[in-house]
Amino acid sequence: MTESQEKTNLLELTPTRNVQWESDENQLVVLLIPKFKNRFTVKYFEPLLAKKHFRLKLDAFGSFVWNQADGNVTVMAIGDRMKEHFGEAVEPVYERVGKFIHMLQREKFITLNHPK
């Protein structure tokens, strides 16, 4: 870990979405993850596929976080909004949001930035 990584507080960062998504009939988010990322495979194999994306369905909590991750809201504010919206059902809220945000970042579905 570099010195700057040690001092960064996840709660102060703003997540920004990197993949396409849609909402289903229940207003839950479905992430559309491309099956291929390499230019060669996209060019030659993707036209042969019936579906170009994997579909990752999020639950109500995940959908709420995803909809908030617009690059303008900090992780702390997302946690506050979740607690206000869902109440005690999301406790421990910051731990849950933090783990979910880390998972999204690890898979490159979001990027984390310092607030503007």
User: Domains of the chain by range and CATH?
Assistant: 10-113 (3.90.930)
Least Cα distance to 17 among 60, 72, 56, 54 occurs for 72
Looking at residue 17, what is its pLDDT?
A: 94
Looking at residue 31, what is its pLDDT?
A: 93
Residue 90 tokens, joined: 């999301």
Residue 109 tokens, joined: 């579905």
Collect the ranges in the chain with pLDDT lower than 70.
Answer: 1-6, 35-51, 116
Looking at residue 115, what is its pLDDT?
A: 74
Looking at residue 39, what is its pLDDT?
A: 67
